[in-house]
Amino acid sequence: MIYTQSPLAISLFVVFVLFVLGLSFYLSRRASSADGYYAAGGNIHWATNGIAFAGDYLSAASFLGICGMIATAGYDGWMYSIGYLAGWIVALFLVAEPMKRLGKYTFTDALDSKFNSKAIQLMAAISTLLVSIFYLIPQMVGAGVLVQPLLGLPHWVGVCIVGIVVTLIVATAGMASTTYVQFFKGGMLLIMSTVLVGMVLYRGLSTTPADNNGTPYHDFKTLHADSALVLVEEGYTVVSGLDSAFGKAGFVKLAKDGKESIWSMLKSDTGYTLEETLFVTKMADGTKLFNGSPAEDGQFFPIGHIKELRINGEEVTTTGAVGPLAFLSALKDSTIVLWGKKYVKIDGSTTTIYYQKPTPGSRVLRPGLKFKVDNATGLQKFNFLSLMLALFCGTAALPHILIRYYTVPSQAAARKSTIVAIAAIGFFYVLTLFMGMGAMTNGVINIADNNMSAPLLALSFGFVMFSIISSLAFATVLGTVSGLIVAASGAIAHDLMDNFLGMKMTDRGKVLAGKISAVIIGCIAIYLGIIFEGMNVSFLVGWAFAVAASANLPAILMLLFWSKTTAPGIAASILVGLVSSLGLILVSPDMWVRYGNLPADAPVQFNSPALISIPLSFLALVIVSMITQKGAAVSGAKEAA
C-alpha cells in the first residue's frame, strides 16, 4: 500500500518525541542514585503506577498486533486480549505483594532473597535478558511498521529511530522517566482509543465502506466464464489457465489492456464465477510487485467489507449510528468478506494470492478462523491450549512488569496499582474488539501487513485522527521498549556485574553501568527489529510470553508456595524452562519458514512450547530441590548459627 505523509502527522510525531526526551532530561536529576535509576526512588503513587503498568503492558502487540489479528481473523485475535488480561489475575493474587516484599530493583532480587546464590543470580539475569530481548523484537518490528505511513521512511529507519530515542530516554533517567512516559502514554492510549471506537460506532456499518480520505473503496469485480474458461465479459484474455500452476491452485491469470490480474475460480452450474484477488509477486531477484505493479503505483488496494448486512433480521445497506452491543449483534447476523491466502511458486518467483472468503458473522465472532479448533487434530488442539497457557502464565513472569512493583512505597500500593492496571487494561481490551472489527468492515486493511489496521482505521476518519493515533502507537512502542531496556540493563548492571561478579562499584558507578548496558541492549534491539520485519507483532509476543512463563513463573511460584525449594532447584528450573522453550521455538514450523524451509518439514509441528516447557521447568525444580535438600538444611543451619 502507498501512504501519503501528512505534515500534521510528522509534526505531532516530532512534538511527542521532543516532549518525551525533554521529560527524560528533566527527570535525569532524580536518577543519579541507584534507587532513583532502577526503582524511581520507590515513591511512585499507586494510581500513577497502575496506569504506567498499562502503559508498559499495552505494547505494540496489544495495539497493533491484536487489532490487526482481529481485523483479519476475528475472534481468534481477541483470544490474545482475553489471555493477556487473565494473566494479570496471576500477578495480582499470587505475585504482586510478595514481589514487593522480597525484591529491591529486579526480579532476581526476589528469587534470590532467601539464598544469596550465585547460580540464581546468573540464571535469573540471563533469563531476564533473553525474555526482554524476545519481547523487544515485536516492539521494534511495530516501530518499523509505523514509520512507513507516518514519516514515509523505510522499516529499518523506524527501528533505528525508536532504538536511539529509547536508549536516550533510559540512559538519561532510567525508571523515573520511563514511569512518567508510560503513565502519559497509557492514559492517552485509553482516551484516544475510546474516541476512535466512539467514531466507529457513530459511523455504523455499511456494505460500502466509507471513502478513505477521498479514495473510494475498490470495486472488486466478478466475472463469468464457461466450463472451457471462455469469458462472458469482453476484453479479457486468459494468460494462465486451468492446467497452469495457478489453475491447479484454484486461480486463473487474465490480462486486459496489457495489465495482468489473478482471479479465484468458483465452479458454477454453467462454468466458473471468477472473483478478483490481490496478489504480491516476489521475483527471483527479490523485487516485489503488488498486483503486478511496483508498490509506488498504488495498485494494492486496502480491503475489508461486508457482503450482506442484516440488522434485526432485515437486509440493509447501512445501519447508521449503533450502540456497542447492536454493532456486534449486526455483525453476527451479517456476512463479512474475509481473505484467504495461498502461495503459487513458478520458476523461482513466489506469488502470494489473497482471495475473498465470505464468512458468516457468527463464525467470525467465535474461535476457529486462525486457531485450528474445528475438527482439529490432537496436535492442533495442543498448540491452541499451549498458547492460551503461555498467555495466562506469561504476564506475571515478565521482568519489565515485575520491576514496576519496586517503584511503589508499600505492598498495599503494589496490590492497588495492579488493580488499576487490570481496570485500564481490561477496558482497553474491550476496545480492541471494536477497533479490530471496525477495521475488518471499513475497507482499511493492508492485507500484506495487518499490523497497521488500527491506525488505518483512524485514517478513514481523516488525517487528524490518523496522526494522533499513529503518534500514540509510536509512543506505545517507545514506552514499552524503554521499560524493557530498563529491565535488561538492570539484569546486566545490578544482577550480573554487581551481585554475580561482585564488582565493587560506587552508587554513581552502578548508574553508569546501567546506562552503558542500556545502550548495548538498544543496539541489539535495533538489529533484531530489522531482521524480523513482516511478522505479526502479537504472534511474536506470544513467544516472549512462552519463554517468560517457562523460565520465570515456576521459580517464582515455588519459591513463594513450596518450603522445600532450594537455590539449585530454582536455578535448574530457570535453565530448563529457558532451554526447552527456546529450543522448541527454534525448531517450530514458523521458525522453519524463516530459515527458508517448508513448515511441514519442521522437527516439531506446533508453535507454542508452553504446555511442554512449563511442566518441565516445574519438574526440574522439584527434582533438583529434593536432591539438594540435605545441602540446603546444612546451609540453613549454618545461617541460623
Partner 1 sequence: MGHGPAVKLGKDDASSYKTRLGVKMFIIYTLVYAAFVGLNATNPKAMETIIFGQTAAVIWGFGLIALALVMALFYNHLCTKAEKQMNS
Q: Which of residues 490-529 bind partner 1 (CB under 8 A)?
A: 494, 498-499, 510
325 φ/ψ angles, rounded to the nearest 5 degrees: -75, -40
Q: Which of residues 437-496 bind partner 1 (CB under 8 A)?
A: 494
Shortest Å distance, C-beta 41 to partner 1: 7
**Is 169 near partner 1 (CB under 8 A)?**
no
Nearer to partner 1, 89 or 164 (CB): 89
Nearer to partner 1, 43 or 244 (CB): 43
In angstroms, the CA 485 to CA 40 distance is 15
Choose which of 67, 90, 162, 431 interacts with partner 1 (CB under 8 A): 90
Among 433, 469, 559, 616, binds partner 1 (CB under 8 A): 433
Decide if 170 contacts 271 (C-beta within 8 A): no
Count CB neighbours of 639 within 10 A.
Answer: 10
Nearest one of 269, 270, 274, 220 to 242, comparing CA atoms: 274
Contact between 555 and partner 1 per CB under 8 A: no
Furthest C-alpha separation in the chain: 96
406 near partner 1 (CB under 8 A): yes
**Segment interacting with partner 1, rule: CB under 8 A, options 71-79, 139-147, 569-577, 595-603:** 71-79
Contact between 97 and partner 1 by CB under 8 A: the answer reads yes
Binding partner 1 by CB under 8 A: which of 8, 26, 101, 564? 101
Burial letters 391-416, b for 16+ CB under 10 A, else e: bbbbbbbbbbbbbbbbbbeeeebbbb
Distance of alpha carbon 71 from alpha carbon 209, whole angstroms: 14
What is the edge-to-edge ordering of all strands in the sheet holding 271-276? 222-226, 271-276, 259-268, 251-256, 237-240
Looking at the Cβ atoms of 241 and 509, the one nearer to partner 1 is: 509
Hey, what amino acid is at 208?
Answer: T
Q: Which of 14, 15, 93, 527 binds partner 1 (CB under 8 A)?
A: 93
Question: For partner 1, how many residues bind (rule: CB under 8 A)?
Answer: 72
Among 13, 80, 105, 217, interactor with partner 1 by CB under 8 A: 105
Asked whether position 254 contacts partner 1 by CB under 8 A, the answer is no
Q: How far is CA 462 from CA 119, 452, 455, 456, in A?
A: 56, 15, 11, 10
Comparison of 109 and 275: residue with beta carbon closer to partner 1:
109
561 in contact with partner 1 (CB under 8 A):
yes
Which span sits near partner 1 by CB under 8 A: 38-46, 135-143, 197-205, 275-283? 38-46
Judged by beta carbon, residue 58 or residue 475, the one nearer partner 1 is 58
Helical segments of 376-410, H only: 378-394, 399-402
388 binding partner 1? (CB under 8 A): yes
What is the footprint of partner 1 within residues 40-69 (CB under 8 A)? 41-43
Minimum distance of partner 1 from residue 368's CB (angstroms): 5
593 counts as binding partner 1 under rule CB under 8 A:
no
Instruction: For the CB of residue 325, give the shortest distance to partner 1 in the complex, in Å.
Output: 7
The answer to whether residue 98 forms part of the interface with partner 1 (CB under 8 A) is: yes
Q: Which of 52, 69, 79, 165 binds partner 1 (CB under 8 A)?
A: 79
User: Looking only at residues 300 through 329 of this chain, which bind partner 1 when binding is defined by CB under 8 A?
Assistant: 325, 328-329
Q: Minimum Å distance from CB 423 to partner 1?
A: 6
Smallest distance from partner 1 to CB 399, Å: 16
Q: Which three cell numbers stand for residue 82?
A: 482475553
Comparison of 5 and 329: residue with beta carbon closer to partner 1: 329
Cα 302 to Cα 494: distance, rounded to the nearest angstrom: 48
Q: Establish if 564 lies at the interface with partner 1 (CB under 8 A).
A: no
Q: Smallest gap, in angstroms, from Cβ of residue 353 to partner 1?
A: 27
The helix (run of H) or strand (run of E) holding residue 8 is helix 7-27
Q: Which residue has the cell 516532549?
A: 19
DSSP string, 39-50: HGGG---HHHHH
Note whether 453 and 71 are within 8 A (CB): yes
What are the two backbone dihedrals, phi and then psi, of residue 213, each rounded to the nearest 5 degrees? 55, 50
What is d(CA 441, CA 207) in angstroms, rounded to the nearest whole number? 8
End-to-end, the C-alpha distance of the chain in Å comes to 71
Asked whether 436 and 445 are in contact (CB, 8 A), the reply is no
Interface pick for partner 1 out of 102, 458, 487, 571 (rule CB under 8 A): 102
Q: Indicate whether 373 belongs to the interface with partner 1 (CB under 8 A).
A: yes
For residue 276, state whether it binds partner 1 (rule: CB under 8 A): no
Minimum CB separation of residue 415 from partner 1 in Å reads 6
Q: Is 142 in contact with 64 (CB distance < 8 Å)?
A: yes
Cell output for 216:
473510494
Phi-psi region of 536 (alpha: psi -120 to 50; beta: other; left: phi over 0): beta
